[in-house]
Structure 1
C-alpha cells in the first residue's frame, strides 16, 4: 500500500515538474536565448502568452470606424504586428500560449525562409480547428506526399485544362449578372454574390458538380472557418480536450463529419456515372484525377479516401477564399477609382465586344490583369 502511495506521489510530482518546465522554465529559457541574438518581443503572460493582448488589440481595431477608403488596412487587420514591429523591430518574438513564434517582416529573411534551400524550415502542423479545415492536404503536407499531390493538381490545372474551364466560368458570371439586373437602383451585397460565383465556378470546373451540390460543402467549411477564427487565440489546458469538449469543438466535429460525408457523395456520384456508362472515364478535372489515383494499380502512387477529402477541402476553401477576396477587393478599388473602370471597360469591349470572354482573348487583357495584380499586392 505504501509503495502504491509513493508511486502516486511520484507521478503527481513528475507531472507538476513537467508543467512547471513547459509553462515557466522553457519560455524563460527561450526568451533569454533569443534576447542574446537581439530578438525581443512583448513579455508573455503565464499560460496565455500574448493571446489575450492580440485578441484585445484586434477587437479594438475592428471597432474603430475606417474614415478613409484605402487599401492600407494592415493596421486594422493585424494591429498587433503593426504595434510590435514598431516597438521591437522587423523581427520579434511572440507567444501563442506557451508556444514561441518568431515573427519576421525583414524581406531578406522572408525570402530565405520561402526559398528554403537547405530544407531546414518546415511547415507547422495543422492542429485543432485548422486541422479539421485543411487536414493533411496540399497546404499542410510536405515531402513525397506534397510532391505527389502537387503533380495531380498541376496536371488538373495545366494551361489547356484552364482554357477549357473558361466557358463554365463565363456562364457562372453571366448568371450572376442576370441576377443583378433585378437589383437596378438598389444596393447589392457584392461580397456575398461573389462568394456564390466563385463557389459555383470551383464546383463546376474542379469537381464537375453543380453549385447546389458544392454549396453544402462551402457552407459547412465557412462555419468551420468561423469557429476557427473565434477560437484562434484561446489556449486550452492540455488533455482537457480529450476528457471534455466545448460546444465549439463538438460543433466542429459535427461539421468535419458532415463535410466528409458530402465529399464522399460527390465521389460516389462520379463513380456511379462511370459504372452506368453515362461518362467515359473518371474525367480530366481535379476530382477525376483524385479518384483515379485512389484506384491506381501502383501502390506507391495510390492515395486514400482521407487524402481525397483533405484535397477537396483545401481547394474548396483555399481556392474560394483567395479568389473571392481578390475579386471583391478589385471591385472596391474600381469603385474608388472610376477612371480605372473606364480603362478596363474599354479594353474588354475592344477585345471581346458583346461576346463572353474566351481563353484566346484573356491573355490580351493587360490593363485588367495589371489591376488584379495591384489589388492582390495591396492585400498582401
Structure 2
C-alpha cells in the first residue's frame, strides 16, 4: 500500500500514485461536501431562521427535521375529511374542514405565525393589508414558490413567470382579454350553455325532476367554452386537452408534499412518468393546432376572434415592432403552447368551481334563487342574455361575489422572499415562504362581522369596497399587478350560464348530496354536487 509518508519520504513519486486512489479521495470529498450542504439545508438553516424569527416575536410551530409540519397537516386533513359538514347548511364555516392546520394554527398563534413546509419556513399572514402589500410588491419583489417546478407541469405560462418575462407575456396577452374581445365570445358561451340545458331538459322530461351531479357537468361546460373560445372550430381537439389537464392536476396534488425530498421530481416513479407523458401529449396537440393556425395566417387568412387567434395576432405585432428596431419581441412557439395550457386550466377550473358552488348555494338558499330568477326574467325574459344586460345584473353579481367569498377557488396564495425583506417590522431572510390564506381572510369576523359565515349576498349591495370594514379584504382573484388576467372572462361566463339555467330550471339540493369541500388545487366538492332540476 502506498502511503502519504512514503510519497513525502521520496520512496515513490506522486505521479506513481494510482489514479483510482485519487479519484476515490476526490469522490469522498465531494460526497462529504454534499452531505454538509444537505445538512445545512435540512437542519442548520431552518433552525437558524426559526431562532431569528422567534427573537423578533413571530410565534408558531417548531421545526421537525425534514418533514416540518407535513405530518401534522396530513393527520388533521384525514380527520377533517372523514367528517362531512352537516346539512341543512345555513352556516358556511368551512375552514376547519378545508384547511384544518391553518385554522388551528391561527387560533393558537395569532394572525401572523410560522410553520414549516418540510425544511422550508412559511409565515402566514391573516391580514388583508399585508396580503395586498405582498401581492402589489410594496415591500419589494416576491417570487412564486416553485414546489420543485411542480406547477410548471400543468403550465409554464404567465402565472409562473417573474420580472421582465412576466411583463412581456402580460403585455402580449392583455389584448385577448379586452372587453370588446370578450363580447365577441358571448355566442360561444351561450351555444355551450344551450347544449347543456337542452340535454338537461330532455332528462327532466315529463317526470318533472332530474337529479344530476353538476360538478362534472360544470367541468364539461367550462371545458367546452374554453375549447371553443380558445381554438374556435377545433374545440373537439381541445376537449382532449382539458381531460388531460384535469388528470394532471390530480396527479400534481398527489405528490406536492413529496417535493420536500431533494430531487423527487427527477425520480422515475409511476406518477412522475405519467405526468411527463401527459405533458408531452398536451404539447403535441397544441403544437399541431398552433402550426395549422400559423400556416393559415401566413397564407393570408384573417385572424379569428378566439383566444389563440388574438394571442397570435398580438404576438405578431410585438415581433413586427422588434423588426422595426424597437426593443419589444414576441413569444416562441413553446411559450405560446404554455400560455394555451394556462388558458385551459385557469379558464376551465376557476369558472367550473364558481358555477358549481353557486348552484349548490342557491339550492341551499332558495330565497336568493328566486330573487336572482326574478331579476333575470325581468331583464331578458326567456331570451338569450346579451352583454349590456349581463352588466346590469345586480343581484346575480352580489350572489357570485358572496360565493367567491365563502368558497374561493384558491384557498391560499403563496409567495417567496428572494432577498432579505422587512414586513410589519420583522426582517425575513431570503427563501421564506409567504402564505396569504384567502379563506381565513374571507372568514374573519373582525373584518366581515359576526355573520361572516352566513350566506348574505346583500353585503355586496354597495359594491366590493363597502362589503366589509376593510375595502381590500375581497381577494378571490388576487390583487395588484398580478391579479388574474381572466377574471372578467370567468365572471362573464358564469353570469351567462347562471342566467340561462335559472331561466328554465329550478334548483333543489338532492338528498344524496354530502357537503364536503376540499382543496385540490382549487376548492372542489369532493363527493360531487348532486342537485335536483325541475323545469319551470
- TM-score, normalized by the shorter chain, greater than 0.5: yes
Aligned mates of 2:273, 2:147 — CA distance in 1: 18
Q: Give the CA deviation at 1:163.
A: 1.4
Q: Report the alpha carbon displacement of residue 130 of structure 1 after superposing the two structures with TM.
A: 1.3
Gaps of 5+ in 1: none
**Please, which of 53, 58, 63 is the counterpart of residue 82 of structure 2?**
63
- Find the aligned partners of 1:368 and 1:237 in 2 and give their Cα distance: 46
Deviation (angstroms), 1:329 = 0.9
Are residues 1:163 and 2:183 paired?
A: yes
Task: Please tell me whether residue 227 in structure 1 is matched to residue 251 in structure 2.
Answer: yes
Counterparts of 1:1-380 in structure 2, within 5 Å, are: 1=18, 2-68=21-87, 69=89, 70-125=91-146, 127-135=148-156, 137-184=157-204, 185-235=209-259, 237-239=261-263, 241-242=265-266, 244-274=267-297, 280-292=301-313, 295=316, 296-299=319-322, 300-380=328-408
CA distance in 2, matches of 1:140, 1:356: 37
Query: Aligned-pair distance for 1:111?
Result: 2.2
Q: Provide the rounded CA distance (Å) in 1 between the counterparts of 2:68 and 2:50.
A: 12
Cα separation, partners in 2 of 1:347 and 1:20, compared to 1, 3 Å: same
**1:6-51 residue CA offsets vs partner (Å, 9 max, x unmatched):** 3233222222222221111111101001101111322232111211
Q: Deviations over 1:157-213 (max 9, x none)?
A: 211111111122111111110010132133111111111111111111233244422
SS at match of 1:94: strand
Question: Would the alpha carbon gap of residues 350 and 131 (structure 1) be closer, same or farther in structure 2, given more than 3 Å must change?
Answer: same
Separation of aligned partners in 2, 1:179 and 1:363: 28
| Contact in 2 for aligned 1:27/1:98 (Cα 8 Å) | yes
Cα drift, residue 314 of structure 1: 1.1
Q: Over residues 209-245 of structure 1, what are the superposed CA-to-partner deviations in whole Å (9 max), with x where a residue is unaligned?
A: 4442211110111111001111121245424654x41
Larger CA deviation: 147-156 vs 188-197: 147-156
Contact kept, 8 Å, 1:294 with 1:302, in 2: the verdict is: yes
Q: Aligned Cα RMSD in Å?
A: 2.0
Question: For 1:31 and 1:49, how far apart are their aligned partners in 2?
Answer: 12
Are the aligned partners of 1:50 and 1:97 in contact in 2 as well (CA < 8 Å)?
yes
1:278-337 deviations in Å (ceiling 9; x for gaps): xx3232432113334555334432211121111111111011111111111111111011
Check 1:98–1:354 CA distance in 2 against 1; reply closer, same or farther (3 A cut).
same
Q: Whose Rg is larger?
A: 2
* TM-score normalised by L of structure 2: 0.67
d(CA) in 1 for partners of 2:264, 2:347: 34
Specify which structure has the higher proportion of strand.
2
| Separation of aligned partners in 2, 1:241 and 1:201 | 33
List gaps (5 residues or longer) in structure 2: 1-17, 323-327, 409-536
Does 82-91 or 298-307 show the bigger shift?
298-307
Indicate the structure whose relative CO is greater, using CA pairs within 8 Å and at least 6 residues apart: 2
| Paired residues of 1:152 and 1:286 also in contact (CA < 8 A) | no
Give the conservation status (yes or no) of the 8 Å contact 2:69–2:115: yes
- Separation in 1, partners of 2:220, 2:76: 32
C-alpha distance in 1, partners of 2:404/2:373?
Answer: 20
Higher helix share: 1
Q: Counterparts of 2:140 and 2:123 in 1: how far apart (Å)?
A: 18
TM-score (norm 1): 0.92
Please say if residues 315 and 331 of structure 2, whose CA atoms lie closer than 8 Å, have aligned partners that are also in contact. yes
